[in-house]
Amino acid sequence: MNELSRRTFGRLVGAGVAASTLPPLFAQNPPEAPRSVGAGVRLSANENPYGPSPSALAAMHDSLRNGFRYPDEASEELLATIAKLHGIPSDQVILGDGSSEILKLTAAAFCSPSRKVVIADPTFEAIGAYARAAGAEVVKVPLTSSYAHDLAKMAAVPNAGAIYVCNPNNPTASITGKQVVRSFLEALPQDTMVLVDEAYFHYADSPDYESVVPYVQMRPNLIVARTFSKIYGMAGIRCGYGIAQRSVIQRMDQQKAWDSMNAVALAGARASLIDTKHVAEGRARNIATRQQVVNILTNLGYDVVPSQANFFMVNIKRNVKPVISARVTVGTPDEMQAFVAAFRTVMA
Ligand SMILES: Cc1ncc(COP(=O)(O)O)c(C=O)c1O
């Protein structure tokens, strides 16, 4: 898609084609679905269109009363809840102002003018920017033909301070298989850190996918990042966390601003972790809506990369850059109805 048609496309999606003018391809919106930002439909940021869980909203509301206090207790409580969830001590967890902060702390602690960051191409680029700010070179290794990370090539880059593995990967929504990841972690020298970004962990259901959290206890060079911005629907609230061995957490913590987490986000994040029903519902809705849109696009003759996330990548049969920009977040049924109508018009 060239710049002009991409803008046109954005406008068409943004125009929010009335659902009633379209055939009822999709299930009804759930009544509690929050309204989209502004007049349009934003389907480019991989947000969760259903928002935070009701219990997270209530907890955040309550926490405002204690807004005059520093967030020490709220931090401790969230750390303890995360530690319990993963069966690890709480000093192996570090909180972040979004998981972006975990990426930034990793780059700041382990990359430098003599220690590169190695990332896939394409992938979520944030850590590249953070590593550059630390004076590090960014080495990009293309994904394989099946859109997996080419871990053998990534491991072979000399003087790497950190290797970033986004699994599932943004923007392709593809996974790197569990056996390949395991072998890579086992073979890698312990002085090269690996950051596995599991922002989309909850959406992945392939038998070939697994979280690497259980490997942290055996791997002193492994950091896992998680976020509350995706399945927990709190992208605007800002909370994420990292898991690693204690000495790694300490090095990351040295780079972090004191009391950087706000009490509202901490309370909402903690309540979200406890509300497992909201997670299960969000996952089921995403899979159902995603499947419907993918079927429509496939019937229209477009290839969609098999998605293990809350977005998907469409091959719009034009040159490579637009293929990458043609990443679409799975919104509510109404939003996806508007998307399909706009897509048909632009691609006609
Ligand atoms: C793979 C990946 N990691 C991290 C982030 C950052 O998320 P946040 O800082 O909101 O946790 C995103 C955002 O889209 C992402 O796609």
For the chain, domains (ranges, CATH) are 3-43+277-347 (3.90.1150), 54-274 (3.40.640.10)
> What single DSSP character describes residue 124?
-
CB count, 10 Å around CB of 244?
27
What is the whole-number distance in angstroms between the Cα of residue 20 and the centre of ligand 1?
A: 34
Cα–Cα distances (Å) from 12 to 25, 42, 52, 283, 312, in that order, read: 19, 11, 28, 27, 19
Task: Pick from 43, 124, 175, 329 the residue to mutate for probing ligand 1's pocket: most ligand atoms within 8 Å of its CB.
Answer: 124
Ligand 1 neighbours, Cβ below 6 Å, are: 46, 98-100, 124, 166, 170, 197, 199, 227, 229, 235, 240
The pLDDT of residue 12: 31
Per-residue pLDDT of the chain (348 residues; tens, 9 = 90+): 333 333 333 333 333 223 333 344 555 565 555 555 555 677 778 888 899 999 999 999 999 999 999 999 999 999 999 999 999 999 999 999 999 999 999 999 999 999 999 999 999 999 999 999 999 999 999 999 999 999 999 999 999 999 999 999 999 999 999 999 999 999 999 999 999 999 999 999 999 999 999 999 999 999 999 999 999 999 999 999 999 999 999 999 999 999 999 999 999 999 999 999 999 999 999 999 999 999 999 999 999 999 999 999 998 876 645 544 578 999 999 889 888 888 888 787
The pLDDT of residue 23: 41
pTM of the entire predicted model: 0.89
What is the whole-number distance in angstroms between the Cα of residue 266 and the centre of ligand 1?
A: 17
Ligand 1 atom with the shortest distance to the CA of 169: 1
162, 123, 124, 129: which is closest to 143 by C-alpha?
123
Task: Pick from 99, 104, 105, 200 the residue to mutate for probing ligand 1's pocket: most ligand atoms within 8 Å of its CB.
Answer: 99
